[in-house]
Structure 1
Amino acid sequence: MTRPHQAKQPVSAALAGPYGHPFHPMLVTVPIGAWAAGLVFDIASQFVADPRFLSQGAMWLIALGVIGALGAAMAGFLDLFAIPPGTRAFRLALIHMTLNLLVTAAYLGNFLWRQSETVTGGVPAGPLALNVVAFLTLAVSGWLGGRLSYRYGVRVADEATQAEGFVSAGRTH
């Protein structure tokens, strides 16, 4: 099996998703969406008369994102095992994983920080700044994950398989 082909095969189809349809990219939508919404809530809490519901909502969205990140990390870790060590793709995957672990730790810390404070106004500057920095780091890591998929083809079906989608309807080959 060639090295690029090895990176396309799941370590466990049941746990990581079948060939050409990995679970990791599907699962990352939960933390990304929750954390993006949490950031919007944090910012909005600075501009409304009674921001408590936004502050509370952001805190629970952050928690939801942390839980979702754990599921995405498990599937991503399995995808990492499919990449041959010593390759550019493997090195990039390690950077992607490290950034995501740091982001998840930052959001867990942010959740705990918010739990320890009683917020009556908008989200305080500290947790808001941590949210912004964590989200920007998440964006960089997401870009690296896209590079793994779209540039290096990690867990993406090979071009011969992809070509099936471009055969005219009604033709078998």
Structure 2
Amino acid sequence: MRTPASICRHPIHPMLVVFPIGLWIFSLVCDVIRLTGAPGEAWSTVALYSMVGGLIGALCAAIPGFIDLLFYKGGAPPVRKIALTHMAINLTIVVLYAINIWLRMRSFVSVSPGLSTPVLLSIAGVALLFVSGWLGGQMVHVYGVGVEGRE
């Protein structure tokens, strides 16, 4: 699939999604470490900064992903529905993490011990990441979206 969001015939979106995925999963790992009783606020602070980096990365990945969606012209009928669902889930994740960051900033980075609202939002965000990643993988590996010569 050739779109303007490519470099040397390689789509940019899959190159960028690794950053928000990795950072948001790492932020949840930091929260879990904090929940297990790690002293101090360092893990909560690292979780917050990881979320911010993930949010920036997600917004950067969304632009070429949206361009790919606009320029997609073929393939099996369910692909467009899968792509729109993938996008809707990703936008939901971005909103969840924006709220999560806002809540953490309001409480001065401190996440109280136990399953607080920010930690629950992180769990929900990562769970949705798995669903969205599954759909993205389905588009590529089952329907060949983004694989040159398969659409």
Amino acid at match of 1:141: S
Q: Return the alpha-carbon distance in structure 2 between the equivalents of residues 151 and 99 of structure 1.
A: 19
Give the counterpart of 2:85 among 74, 89, 95. 95
1:7-37 C-alpha deviation (Å, 9 max, x unpaired): x122x1xx33343x21111100000010010
Give the counterpart of 1:136 among 104, 127, 131. 127
Give me the TM-score of the superposition, normalised by structure 1.
0.79
Amino acid at match of 2:103: W
Deviation at 1:81, TM superposition (A): 1.4
For the 8 Å contact 1:45–1:123, the answer to whether it is kept is: no
Aligned twin of 1:112: 102
Give me the TM-score of the superposition, normalised by structure 2.
0.90
CA gap 1:37/1:49 in 2 versus in 1, 3 angstroms: closer
CA gap 1:120/1:66 in 2 versus in 1, 3 angstroms: closer
CA gap 1:77/1:136 in 2 versus in 1, 3 angstroms: same
Q: Return the alpha-carbon distance in structure 2 between the equivalents of residues 9 and 82 of structure 1.
A: 8
1:147-169 C-alpha deviation (Å, 9 max, x unpaired): 1111111111226xxxxxxxxxx
1:117-139 C-alpha deviation (Å, 9 max, x unpaired): 14275475111011001110111
Deviation at 1:106, TM superposition (A): 0.4
RMSD: 1.9
Unaligned runs of 5+ in 1: 1-7, 160-173
Amino acid at match of 1:9: R
Helix, strand or coil: the match of 1:72? Answer: helix
Aligned twin of 1:146: 137
Please show how residues 45-84 of structure 1 align to structure 2 within 5 Å: 45-84=34-73
Helix, strand or coil: the match of 2:145? Answer: coil
Aligned twin of 2:20: 31
Amino acid at match of 1:140: V
Helix, strand or coil: the match of 1:138? Answer: helix
Unaligned runs of 5+ in 2: none
For the 8 Å contact 2:24–2:51, the answer to whether it is kept is: yes
Deviation at 1:50, TM superposition (A): 1.5
For the 8 Å contact 2:111–2:118, the answer to whether it is kept is: no
CA gap 1:9/1:128 in 2 versus in 1, 3 angstroms: same
Q: Return the alpha-carbon distance in structure 1 between the equivalents of residues 114 and 8 of structure 2.
A: 42
For the 8 Å contact 2:103–2:118, the answer to whether it is kept is: yes
CA gap 1:120/1:50 in 2 versus in 1, 3 angstroms: farther
Aligned-residue identity in percent: 34
For the 8 Å contact 2:104–2:111, the answer to whether it is kept is: no
Larger Rg: 1
Q: Return the alpha-carbon distance in structure 2 between the equivalents of residues 49 and 29 of structure 1.
A: 28
Q: Return the alpha-carbon distance in structure 2 between the equivalents of residues 126 and 120 of structure 1.
A: 9
Equivalences, count: 148
